[in-house]
Structure 1
Amino acid sequence: MLRQFLSKIPRSFGNSDSPELTRPNSFMTAGLHTHRSNSFNSGCGRPCATKRTSSSIFPASVVAGIEPLLPFKNAPNSEKMNLFVSKVSLCCATFDFSDATKNSIEKDVKRQTLLELLDFVASGSIRFSEPAILAMCRMCSTNLFRVFPPNYRSITSNNGENDDDDPIFCSAWPHLQIVYDLLLKFITSSCLDAKVAKKYIDHAFILRLLDLFDSEDPRERECLKTILHRVYGKFMVHRPLIRKDISNIFYRFVFEEERHNGITELLDIFGSIISGFALPLKEEHKIFLQRVLIPLHKPKTLGVYFQQLSYCVTQFIDKDPKLSSTVIKGLLKYWPITNSQKEVMFLDELKDILEEIDMVEFQKVMVPLSWQIGRCINSFHFQEEEAELSKSAEKRKKAWERLENAANHRPPTTRNTAALVTHSTTSIS
Structure 2
Amino acid sequence: MELNVQVSGTAHQWSQIYLSDVSNPQKQSLFISKLNLCCEVSDCSDPDKTSAEQDLKHQMLLELVDFVSSGSARFNESAIAAMCKMCAINLFRAFPPKYCSNSTSGEVEDEEPMFDPSWSNLLLVYDLLLRFISCTSLDAKVAKTVYGKVMVHRPFVRNAVSNIIYRFVFETERHNGIAELLEIFGSIISGFAVPLKEEHKMFLWRALIPLHKPKAVVVYHQQLTFCVVQFIDKDPKLANSVITGLLKYWPVTNSPKELLFISELEEILEMTSMAEFVTIMVPLFRRISFCLNSSHYQVAERAHLPWNNEHIFNLIMHNRRVIFPLIFPALERNSGNHWNQAVLNLTHSIKMMFCEIDEELVLACQRKLEEENSRSSEAAEKRKMYGRLKPSACTVAC
SS across alignment from 1:330: helix
Counterparts of 1:126 and 1:115 in 2: how far apart (Å)?
19
Counterparts of 2:257 and 2:54 in 1: how far apart (Å)?
47
| Residues 72 and 282 of structure 1: CA distance in aligned 2, closer, same or farther (over 3 Å) | same
- Give the alignment partner of residue 175 of structure 1, picking from 101, 121, 136: 121
Provide Cα deviations, 1:21-58, integer angstroms capped at 9, x if missing partner.
Answer: xxxxxx9xx8x7xxxxxxxxxxxxxxxxxxxxxxxxx5
1:298 Cα deviation from its structure 2 partner: 0.7
Counterparts of 2:62 and 2:175 in 1: how far apart (Å)?
32
Question: What's the counterpart of residue 316 of structure 1?
Answer: 231
1:171 Cα deviation from its structure 2 partner: 4.2
- Kindly provide the amino acid, as one letter, of the partner of residue 270 in structure 2: E
- Give the alignment partner of residue 389 of structure 1, picking from 325, 328, 340: 340
1:360 Cα deviation from its structure 2 partner: 1.7
1:248 Cα deviation from its structure 2 partner: 2.0
SS across alignment from 2:340: helix
Counterparts of 2:235 and 2:277 in 1: how far apart (Å)?
14
1:197 Cα deviation from its structure 2 partner: 5.2
Question: What's the counterpart of residue 245 of structure 1?
Answer: 160
| Residues 138 and 273 of structure 1: CA distance in aligned 2, closer, same or farther (over 3 Å) | closer
Provide Cα deviations, 1:330-355, integer angstroms capped at 9, x if missing partner.
Answer: 11111223223222322222233333
Counterparts of 1:181 and 1:97 in 2: how far apart (Å)?
23
Tell me if the contact between 2:297 and 2:343 (Cα under 8 Å) persists in the aligned partners.
no
Superposition CA RMSD, Å: 4.0
- Written as runs of structure 1 = structure 2, the 5 A alignment for 1:200-239 is 235-239=150-154
1:98 Cα deviation from its structure 2 partner: 10
**Is 1:296 aligned to residue 211 of structure 2?**
yes
Instruction: Point out where structure 2 has 5 or more consecutive residues left out of the alignment.
Output: 301-336, 345-398
Counterparts of 2:258 and 2:54 in 1: how far apart (Å)?
51
- Written as runs of structure 1 = structure 2, the 5 A alignment for 1:82-231 is 82-95=29-42, 106-122=53-69, 123-128=71-76, 130=78, 132-150=79-97, 155=102, 157=103, 160=105, 164-166=109-111, 167-189=113-135, 190-191=137-138, 193-194=142-143
1:92 Cα deviation from its structure 2 partner: 3.7
- Written as runs of structure 1 = structure 2, the 5 A alignment for 1:253-272 is 253-272=168-187
Question: What's the counterpart of residue 273 of structure 1?
Answer: 188
- Give the alignment partner of residue 220 of structure 2, picking from 296, 301, 305: 305
Question: What's the counterpart of residue 372 of structure 1?
Answer: 287
1:254 Cα deviation from its structure 2 partner: 0.9
* Percent of pairs with identical residues: 53
| Residues 134 and 379 of structure 1: CA distance in aligned 2, closer, same or farther (over 3 Å) | closer
Counterparts of 1:288 and 1:330 in 2: how far apart (Å)?
13
Question: What's the counterpart of residue 348 of structure 2?
Answer: none
| Residues 295 and 81 of structure 1: CA distance in aligned 2, closer, same or farther (over 3 Å) | same
Counterparts of 1:174 and 1:191 in 2: how far apart (Å)?
27
TM (norm. structure 2) is 0.62
Question: What's the counterpart of residue 271 of structure 2?
Answer: 356
1:179 Cα deviation from its structure 2 partner: 2.0
Larger RCO (alpha carbons 8 Å, 6+ apart): 1
Please identify which structure carries the higher helix content.
Answer: 2
1:96 Cα deviation from its structure 2 partner: 6.5
Counterparts of 1:67 and 1:356 in 2: how far apart (Å)?
57
1:284 Cα deviation from its structure 2 partner: 1.9
| Residues 369 and 101 of structure 1: CA distance in aligned 2, closer, same or farther (over 3 Å) | same
| Residues 105 and 257 of structure 1: CA distance in aligned 2, closer, same or farther (over 3 Å) | closer
| Residues 80 and 289 of structure 1: CA distance in aligned 2, closer, same or farther (over 3 Å) | same
Tell me if the contact between 1:97 and 1:172 (Cα under 8 Å) persists in the aligned partners.
no
- Kindly provide the amino acid, as one letter, of the partner of residue 340 in structure 2: L
Question: What's the counterpart of residue 256 of structure 2?
Answer: 341
TM (norm. structure 1) is 0.58
Q: Which has the larger radius of gyration?
A: 2
Tell me if the contact between 2:106 and 2:176 (Cα under 8 Å) persists in the aligned partners.
no
Tell me if the contact between 1:271 and 1:308 (Cα under 8 Å) persists in the aligned partners.
yes
Counterparts of 1:144 and 1:286 in 2: how far apart (Å)?
31
Tell me if the contact between 1:376 and 1:382 (Cα under 8 Å) persists in the aligned partners.
no
Number of residue pairs matched by the alignment: 299
| Residues 387 and 150 of structure 1: CA distance in aligned 2, closer, same or farther (over 3 Å) | farther
Tell me if the contact between 1:114 and 1:179 (Cα under 8 Å) persists in the aligned partners.
yes
Counterparts of 1:313 and 1:383 in 2: how far apart (Å)?
24
1:296 Cα deviation from its structure 2 partner: 0.9
| Residues 105 and 301 of structure 1: CA distance in aligned 2, closer, same or farther (over 3 Å) | closer
Tell me if the contact between 2:87 and 2:129 (Cα under 8 Å) persists in the aligned partners.
yes
Counterparts of 1:238 and 1:147 in 2: how far apart (Å)?
23
| Residues 366 and 145 of structure 1: CA distance in aligned 2, closer, same or farther (over 3 Å) | closer
Provide Cα deviations, 1:203-248, integer angstroms capped at 9, x if missing partner.
Answer: xxxxxxxxxxxxxxxxxxxxxxxxxxxxxxxx44443333332222
Counterparts of 2:343 and 2:292 in 1: how far apart (Å)?
19
1:147 Cα deviation from its structure 2 partner: 0.9
Provide Cα deviations, 1:254-277, integer angstroms capped at 9, x if missing partner.
Answer: 111111111112222222222222
Choose 85-94 or 297-306, whichever is displaced more: 85-94
SS across alignment from 1:314: helix
